[in-house]
Homo-oligomer: A and B are copies of this chain.
Amino acid sequence: MTEPSAPRITTETIPADLRARLVAWRRDFHRHAETAWTEFRTTAAIVTELKRLGWSTVMGPELHDAGARLGVPAVEVLSHARARAIEQGADPGLVEAMGEGFTGVLGILETGRPGPVVCFRFDIDANDLVELRDASHRPFAEGFASVNDGAMHGCGHDGHAAMGLGLATVLADLRDSLTGTVKIIFQPAEEGVRGAHSIVAAGWFDDVDVFVATHLKSDDDRGSILTGADGYLASTKFDVAFSGVGAHAGGDPEKGRNALLAAASASLALHAIPRHSEGASRVNVGVLSAGEGRNVVPRAAVIKVETRGETSAIDEYMVARAMDAVAGAARMYGVDHEVTVVGRADQATPSPQLQPFIGECFAGVEGVTEIGVSGGLGGSEDATAMMNRVIERGGLATYVQIGMDTSWGHHTERFDVDEDMLALGAAAETRIALGAAEFLAGLERR
């Protein structure tokens, strides 16, 4: 007779002291917010904890295919961030091991028993935001607002990282009840959809049988779950640098080659890329910066662009047309141009067979109020790169959304996390790890 595995663990089994640690971890990450590819202190803290719990870890250059990293900041930015991390208590040896921004860590728990590879994704980077310093904002009122200039956890990744550590703690505890292998990827640089590709390219998802990414969502019903959130758009982020020739605008206007006008024309043409009949598309030139002085023909200009598509094919269409637009604009004004892709997210379709199982795992957990399947917000996500790799290799993958009724939008200076959701997520995902083997066996029998 088989004891059903999932019911054994519920949020009740997450003891009060772990709940307190979930909150403490989240607040520590929040206070020391680190933006994409500079998560030195955050990564070091997670590595230290994982090792303490007995997980093996993969980090630094081993974790990434170096050539596939996107949108890595300048070396001075990295170097400043490393110094700050150490100053804020990070283990210098671990920081050193992360070198030029090889942040993030993969925790691996091998049971030694046959069974599937189950993988969970939590992202850990902060946003380029200045946090509100006002008593009405709880992180400020309670003393854990970000101390790092221009960095703030405004999307809940502080909570994700804490939830991942909570899950690692429970699973370490339940190690004897598990089979196969559990992986937890603490992904860097999700903002700007930059961090997933190089980890996927390094092969760490090639053996995954069940993959679950998790995201908290504000302005929703508290405890409402989507087991297969799919509202994410494929997206490409790129910069274009136009290089022309400066000249005195009064004395020699004909000697200049005007990079500002090239960037202006490109911006108009980019926004005029035709809509696609097969689904939603987007384009935005978010930043244009050109010229040095009022009386000089502008020699240099930069635009920061993103495209999106309801499908990857639509996003590829947008990018192809965008490349024409920027190349043509450069040609028009006799200037050079260079395109640098700094982020990319594909569309991904959550595996439908996986949904009922995920739903059951959440259904048994305290605080869960409602379980839906698809839908969700219209941003972009690079966990899709992981999902697609898993699905291509024959595995199942999904993206879980956990609703919070906090009223401040993502990516705002007032964003905050409902900390009760951290235990909820850790508990439900523990059930996924425990029940995956049986669920997969059941699928095969059909």
- Give residues in A with beta carbon < 8 Å to B: 128, 192, 233, 235, 237, 248-254, 256, 258, 260-261, 263-269, 271-272, 274-278, 280-282, 284-298, 301, 304-306, 308, 317, 321, 324-325, 327-334, 377-380, 411
Contacts and interface: CB of A to CB of B under 8 A. Distances in A.
Contacts of A266: 332
A192 B332 contact: no
B291 A285 contact: yes
19 contacts: A248-B379, A249-B284, A250-B306, A251-B378, A253-B275, A253-B277, A253-B282, A260-B267, A260-B287, A263-B264, A264-B264, A265-B269, A265-B332, A286-B293, A286-B295, A287-B292, A288-B288, A288-B301, A327-B332
Contacts of A295: 284, 286, 306
Given A248-B379, A251-B379, 16 more contacts: A251-B277, A260-B286, A261-B271, A263-B288, A265-B269, A265-B332, A268-B272, A275-B281, A277-B378, A280-B280, A286-B291, A287-B291, A287-B293, A289-B290, A294-B304, A325-B333
A230 to B, nearest CB: 15
Nearest to A246: B286
Contact of A332 (B275, B282, B301, B324): B324
A308 B250 contact: yes
A253 B276 contact: yes
B331 A377 contact: no
Nearest to A268: B268
B377 A251 contact: yes
A298 to B, nearest CB: 6
A89 B266 CA distance: 51
Contacts of A290: 287-289
A271 to B, nearest CB: 4
A250 B380 CA distance: 8
A114 B254 CA distance: 50
B288 A294 contact: no
Contact of A275 (B254, B267, B306, B317): B254
Contacts of A276: 253-254
Nearest to A251: B378
A378 B275 CA distance: 13
B250 A128 contact: no
A307 to B, nearest CB: 10
Given A332-B265, A378-B250, A298 B287 contact: yes
Contacts of A258: 271, 274
B292 A286 contact: yes
